Amino acid sequence: MAQETESKWLSRSRRNALLVLLGLVLVALAIWLFTGNAEPGGDRGRGRPPATVGTAKAALADMPVTLSQIGTVQPVVQATVRTQLAGVLFSIEFQEGQTVTKGQRLAQIDPRPYQLALSEAEGNLARDRAQLNAARVDLQRYETLLKQDSIAAQQVDTQAATVKQLEGTVEADQAQVGNARLNLSYTAITAPVSGKVGLRQADIGNYLTPGDANGIVVITQTSPIDVSFALPQDKVPAVQARLREGAELPVTANDQYADKVLAQGMFLTFDNVSDAATGTVKAKARFANGENNLFPNQFVNVTIVVDTLKQAVTVPVTAIRHGARGDFVFILGPEQTAKLHLVKLGPSDGTKTVVTSGVKAGDTVITEGADRIDDGAKVNLPGQRGQGGKGGDGKWGGRDGKSGEKGERGERRQRGDGEHRRNRDRQAP
């Protein structure tokens, strides 16, 4: 029984070994079929014509060095208009959204209580002035009698003190009159700054106090106006260096899609601290905003022109390729061959890119069709006939990819098709 079991086990092992060996043979055969007959790189170019590519010349141009960030529009001044006195809102003299000037009257608090307070203060002042004048006359009389030795010196001193006391009272009354007049002027609420008023926060008949949080209305100065944004701290030294040179850095504010220019301004200043959490420094730019395209709390795309590279080598952005070895371009060489050149890139304006090394002015770079070629590959330019094999669109024949007359003649001539040749000669004019 044991011998029979051992025999079955050996038979099963031999069968498994044969199956594994057969599998290895099939894998090797498949690899040979796909790769064994091809030379290295042969399949990629075998039977395939040169690719048709677009080209452009590397040229010298001035390229601005820019920094772009997202910013928030902030008014230079935003003032909440509040009453300085408690009282009933008597009148409103502005329209919502109106542009007002500094000192323009916007509203009126009921002035009657403050007019009465002024009248009372003026009456007290008049009374105390009369008492002061009488006390001064008595003092002069007492001084004359003292010279005649008709009264005691103590009485003269007492009268002089009374005059001083009344003089102080008059000065206090004058201050009360001034305070009453000031309060009366405060009943007319004026604009503290020039700007645009917002929506009204109070109505006629409301009782207002200086502690009201919303006030009557908010005035926002919109011209000029600022845009606040943050720059990476490693970009700050370049901007500061230009500012130390006395340069004015132009700033452009675009809409949130970066499609439309809203306003042009100038860089204003940096904040005095950096944000340790984000590694950025806040900055501001100021815009005249004469057309009011910018409004408070609006998000905009800010572009700062830090410097301008004079006569730098530039190529179209479509010529730049990216690979494992870095950035590169294909330069059209002799006999229409594409040569791969590694490059170092500089700033870009979205259409052209500065190349600091790897390309010279006047070089012809490939801008279209570069993903269909390799280093050293031959290429065709637009308008050229394909050099044998398939046409530019992968069909056999001439430049249009159709079976041209010359290709048909050559093919039939090679087959020795004499009848076709005779028919062709008879049909010829």
Say which residue, 41 or 156, is predicted with more confidence. 156
Q: Which of 278, 309, 340 is the last residue of a domain?
A: 309
Last residue of a domain, one of 362, 380, 398: 380
In a domain, 206, yes or no: yes
Structural domain ending residue among the three candidates 182, 200, 218:
218
Rg (CA), the chain: 47
Q: Is residue 411 part of a domain?
A: no
φ/ψ of residue 360, rounded to 5? -110, 155
Average pLDDT of span 171-191: 95
**Same domain for 272 and 326?**
no
Convert the pLDDT of each residue in 307-347 to its tens digit: 888 999 999 999 999 988 899 999 998 888 999 999 999 88
**Are 83 and 213 part of one and the same domain?**
yes
Give residue 168's domain range.
78-218
Does residue 193 share a domain with residue 260?
Answer: no
Domain presence at residue 297: yes
With a pLDDT cut of 70, the percent of the chain lying above it is: 82
Q: What integer pLDDT is reported at residue 313 of this predicted model?
A: 93
pLDDT in tens, 27-79: 777 776 655 444 333 344 445 678 888 999 999 999 988 899 999 999 999 99
Asked whether residue 204 is assigned to any structural domain, the reply reads yes
Which pLDDT does position 398 carry in this prediction?
A: 37
Residues 107 and 168 in one domain: yes
The verdict on 148 and 257 lying in the same domain is no
Tokens, residue 211 = 């502690």
Whether residues 192 and 260 fall in one domain: no
Residue 356 inside a domain? The answer is: yes
CA distance 235 to 267: 14
Number of domains in the chain: 3
pLDDT of residue 419: 45
Chain segment 336-364, per-residue pLDDT in tens: 899 999 999 988 888 999 999 999 999 99
DSSP 277-316: TTTEEEEEEEE--TT----TT-EEEEEEEEEEEEEEEEEE
User: Tell me, what's the pLDDT at 20?
Assistant: 72
**406 domain-assigned:** no
**189 and 81 in contact (C-beta within 8 Å)?**
yes
- Tell me the residue type at 42: G
Say yes or no to pLDDT of 132 above 90: yes
More confident residue, 230 or 402: 230
Separate counts of helices (H) and strands (E) for the chain: 7, 23
When pLDDT is cut at 50, 70 and 90, the band that residue 383 belongs to is confident
**CATH (domain of 337):** 2.40.420.20
> Is there a single domain that holds both residue 241 and residue 351?
no
Residues 194 and 254: beta-carbon distance below 8 Å: no
Pair of tokens at residue 171: 């000065």
Residues 300 and 327 in one domain: no
Q: Provide the residue type at 373 as one letter.
A: I
| Residue 12 within any structural domain of the chain | no
pLDDT surpassing 90 at residue 101: yes
Mean pLDDT of the chain: 83
DSSP conformational letter for 257: T
The pLDDT of residue 428 is above 60: no
Same-domain pairing of 246 and 315: no
Are the C-beta atoms of 108 and 84 separated by less than 8 Å? no
pLDDT number for residue 281: 94
Q: Is residue 315 situated within a structural domain?
A: yes
| pLDDT (0 to 100) of residue 32 | 63
For residues 234 and 282, membership in a common domain is answered with: yes
DSSP-assigned beta bridge partners for residue 60: 313
Report the pLDDT averaged over residues 179-207: 94
Percent of the chain with pLDDT over 90: 59
Question: 391 versus 207: which is more confidently predicted?
Answer: 207
Residues 197, 91: one domain? yes
Instruction: Looking at the structure, tell me whether residues 283 and 317 fall in a common domain.
Output: no
**Terminal CA-to-CA distance of the chain, rounded, Å?**
98
